[in-house]
Chains A and B, each alone.
Chain A
Amino acid sequence: MALAPFSPGGVQVRRTAEMFVQLRQQGVDLERQLTTGKKAETFAGLGFERRTALDLRGKLSALEGFQATIKDADLRLKLMLQSTQNLQQIASDTRAGALLPSSGVSGGQPLEQAQAQGNLKLAIDLLNADINGRYLFSGRTHDQKPVLSYDTIVGDLAPLIAAAKTANDADPGGTGTLSVASAGPAATVTDGGAGGFGLVGVTSSNPGAITAAAPATFTVTAPPAAGDAISLRLSLPDGSEETITLTAAAAPGVNSAGQFVIDADNNVTAANIATALGLAIGERATGALASASAMTAAETYFATDANWYAGDTAPAADARSTAPARIDQTQVVGTGAQANEEGFRTLLTQLAALSADTFADGNRDRLDALLMRVAGNLTPGQGEQKISDIGVELGNAHGAMANARERHQATAAMLQNTLGGIEDAPSEEVAAKLLALQTRLQASYQTTSLLSKLSLVNYL
């Protein structure tokens, strides 16, 4: 069964044979160590260090997991950083372009609009970037293309802009819901209803001649001197203000959007003021008011995600944490982004407003007014998110990952070394052991053979 049957006379011979077998086995084991490079084939053979080996393997595996995460996220982040940089470039180019004098409206398609349309298409493509079908600016809904197509957005927005202009009584040649009338020595502007312009205030440079009273009444009490100025401040739907300033001009001047003619009769002067105000308001209505309407329409449109965005609807403030990457035992960096974040949305709004408005009427004032708004909106104030902020956050994540990667590489190398020390059989040592074993085995064979001849039997 388990043990060899015992014969007292054969003990010595058996012991010798067993010794040979044992030495042989040692040789075979050393040969295996040399071939596989491993000290042991079993955990038993690793000795008391097996616990360390097991833990090290666990740690190495965890590190590999982190490294894989980093590698995966790294590629994504690079692409996202590239995209945000490009979007940032578009934003600054658009802003710079808008600050320059406009190229004018010829043939109904200003150069700025053509550029904006091209940039809008590019921005949508950038925000719809994907890696292996994973959309990068879609938050947690990797499988959803975040931004709707250019045609859909512009197609949806154009009628909204037209409707907003009409509602604000801005298009074409409207008065922005204001009406101007003169009665006796007084010229009064009346706000006819919601939308359009609002009346903010009036001033007069020479109250001795013309008094200005809220909301918007100018009363001529004495003939003004040439150069006296009155002004009317108007509010626009997008929150901006327009100031109309009229200068008194001596007869025989002409009433225009910038001046009124002084008459000896205060009542006539008041009528002149009313006429000039009407002209000025009409000009502002088709210019500033119409562009403000377009901008407001675009802002309203983009304020509702469902209109144009199909990605994750988690609060955009948490966009980074929609794709947390665990790059170390406790270190988590946010690598997510959403196209509906404020920075991206502002850019899209400006580009879409420029793209969807129509300049077929050749109104250059309106173009200038719109460009001015675009430039203003692309100059973010305090506490407003910029595209570059997103870029900085993603860049920080990228930097943290690069640090972690280096750290992991160093740690892994160290752990691998330690593990090698436990599990690996150094070939020099094994070879030396093999050599020693060979010598021992040869000596044993020779001695045994020598001793076996030394029997009395051979000498009788």
Chain B
Amino acid sequence: MSLMSALNAAVSGLRTTQAGIDLVAQNVANAESVGYTRRVISPVQVVTDDRTSGVRTGEVQRVLDTLAQKQLWTEMSGAAYTKVRADFASAIDRLFGAPGSAASLDHAMNDFTEQLSKLVSDPADFSTRASVVDRAQTLAARISTIADGVQNLRTQAEGRISDAVTRANELLKGIEATNAKVMAADFKGGSAALEDERDRMINELAGLMDVQVQEGLNGSIRLLTGSGLTLFDGMSATRLTFDERAVLGPTSSYEANPPSVGVIRAVSVSGSSSDLIAAGAFRSGVIGAALEMRDETLVQAQRQLDELAAGLARAFSDVPAAINGTSMTFQGLGGNPVTVDLMIGGSFQRFALPGPATAAGLQAAIQGAGFAGVTVADLGGDEWQVNGLPAQSALLGASHTVTGLNAGVPQFPLFTDRGAGGAPFTGGNDQTLGFAQRIMVNAAIVGDRSNLVRMDLGPPATPQGDTTRAQFMLDSLTTATWVFPPTTGIGGVAAPFGASISDFGRRIVEMQGANAEAAQRLDEGQKIALATIESRFADTSGVNIDQEMALLVQLQTAYGANARVMTAVRDMMDMLMRI
């Protein structure tokens, strides 16, 4: 033992304390930095031969609860997912207008109904007729606007996916680069800063999609999607591509072949690509939510509006057939298009036939639609009876569409299809898709409002004050029951929703409102879950200024003590020199 070894020990103490203060300074400075975890340094004794010769700084270590971190990533994905869903659901809900406001869908429907009831009371009145046409136009425009809003939201979802995929690629690249550095630094010991940086990027990626992180050798990691597809194998990152479509419309569909919306693909190093949406890779995060919105929720909203628009059109133009078991009888069908709704083997089917002029023509058309055993008998008196539908089928509704304005019957095409050049809506799934955007009031009725009353131009002509058609319109809207396919999400799969048009409209508003509320609730719950895990994580890994200050005091004292040792050694040296 010598004075020099004491001096050496004191110097090493000073150096170690210095490093400690250095770290405190870093911790304090980075207290609010994104992704920064608190670091600690533990002094270790320097052992020379068999005795301690001083102290040295140990490795800078992150204070990390890895279990909490994994959970944090899961909750982050979840929170991003519920937030996007809540945002979209609330946006859909808002499309339907505020409760009771003049801009709401149910108000437009109620208003139209009210005017119809006035028309019944005074069918010949010019201004009442004008009001009916005006309210019908308002209602059609309302449905169109909402449907356009739905497609706007789909386009937004598409944009979100695109942004998210771009960002995910940047992050994966960054993770790839940082991971390489971590592995290199790992040998030298001390890669806390790089690991923080890598975790920061994983944090952000977790918000975009659900990821699993697996630790590899030498500080390396592997990244997988929640469903198990590899995003980063520890060496190179998978590249994601997304062919974004500028504008989405009612016909844009992932189900189409090829899909007419953007598809997320993984491009491997070898250049082969695979459809990640089909593989179910995105179950959470922004991408998961945006995909769900684009391909399911908003598609269903469009379908609801389409069915509402189609129901409105058919309510005024369709003559229902008499149904008895699996037999149906059409009255006065001659040349009018036919729509039949039925359940076969538990699934809903709708087929639409162009107007057959004869009973034999109807038979051929139905057989052509895939019902080979069907026969049509001409009962005389313009009655055609359809028999021989499969025994296990349940007929829900059958009707034929009156396409003329003055065909002598109350039915008439009040609403027509803008897309088909203003032709009447005749049903059929192809025409239904996107009809919400195209529904309009028949131009011939806007041009001559007396068509609201005059079923027959004569002779004898329908009197101007005849209430038959007005009464029919009112009843069709409020009391007549129509069947809505289960694809609208309203009503069960086995028992499709049967209701009046007004009721169906209200159910749509109600369902979207309930969806928005549920999404909001879920998001709030998820926020709390995230906050809880964030707090838990922060308790361990966050920088606490008080704690750092206390440490600083401790280090200051240690520094002073080491310096005091040096002073003592110097004094002792002086004393020796003076001998």
Contacts and interface: CB of A to CB of B under 8 A. Distances in A.
Contacts of B552: 460
B196 to A, nearest CB: 10
Interface in B178-207: 200, 203-204, 207
Contacts of A54: 99, 106, 506, 509-510
Given A42-B516, A72-B118, A72-B121, A57 B538 contact: no
Interface string B60-87: 0000000000001000100110011000
Interface stretch (A139-147, A158-166, A274-282, A386-394): A139-147
Interface in B98-134: 98-100, 106-107, 109-111, 113-114, 116-118, 120-125
Given A7-B35, A7-B36, A2 B110 contact: no
Name A's interface SS.
Answer: helix
Interface string B214-226: 0000000000000
A312 B465 CA distance: 9
Interface string A44-56: 1111101101110
A329 to B, nearest CB: 8
Contacts of A142: 122-125, 463-465
Given A9-B33, A11-B538, A132-B125, A43 B510 contact: yes
Contacts of A64: 114
Contacts of A42: 90, 93-94, 98-99, 513, 516
Contact of A68 (B38, B117, B203, B464): B117
B72 to A, nearest CB: 8
Contacts of A61: 110-111, 113-114
B541 A143 contact: no
B520 interface: yes
Interface stretch (A174-182, A319-327, A346-354, A439-447): A319-327
B162 interface: no
A62 B113 contact: yes
Nearest to B127: A132
15 contacts: A3-B207, A6-B35, A8-B36, A8-B38, A11-B542, A38-B99, A50-B514, A53-B99, A54-B106, A54-B510, A55-B506, A57-B106, A68-B117, A324-B471, A455-B546
Interface in A1-48: 1-3, 5-13, 15, 38, 40-48
A141 B471 CA distance: 17
Contact of B100 (A13, A44, A55, A57): A57
Nearest to A138: B465
A44 B509 CA distance: 10
Contacts of B512: 43
Interface residues of B, number: 84
A280 B208 CA distance: 119
Interface size band for A: 35 or more
A460 B553 contact: yes
A54 B550 CA distance: 62
Interface string B162-189: 0110010000000000000000000000
A140 B106 contact: no
A141 B467 CA distance: 11
Contact of B208 (A1, A47, A48, A65): A1
A455 B465 contact: no
B122 A134 contact: yes
Interface in B442-470: 460, 463-467
Given A46-B99, A134-B124, A139-B465, A456 B550 contact: yes
Given A8-B36, A43-B93, A326 B80 contact: no
B98 A41 contact: yes
B549 interface: yes
Contact of A140 (B466, B517, B537): B466
For the complex of A and B, the 3 pairs showing the least CB-CB separation, nearest first, are A43-B513, A65-B117, A61-B110
A48 B35 contact: no
A154 interface: no
Given A1-B163, A62-B117, A132-B125, A7 B32 contact: yes
Interface of A: 1-3, 5-13, 15, 38, 40-48, 50-51, 53-55, 57-58, 61-62, 64-66, 68-69, 72-73, 132, 134, 138-143, 312-313, 322-326, 423, 455-457, 460
A32 B513 CA distance: 20
Contact of B467 (A9, A44, A324): A324
Contacts of A58: 106, 109-110, 502-503, 506
B120 A326 contact: yes
B31 interface: yes
A3 B72 CA distance: 13
Contacts of B358: none
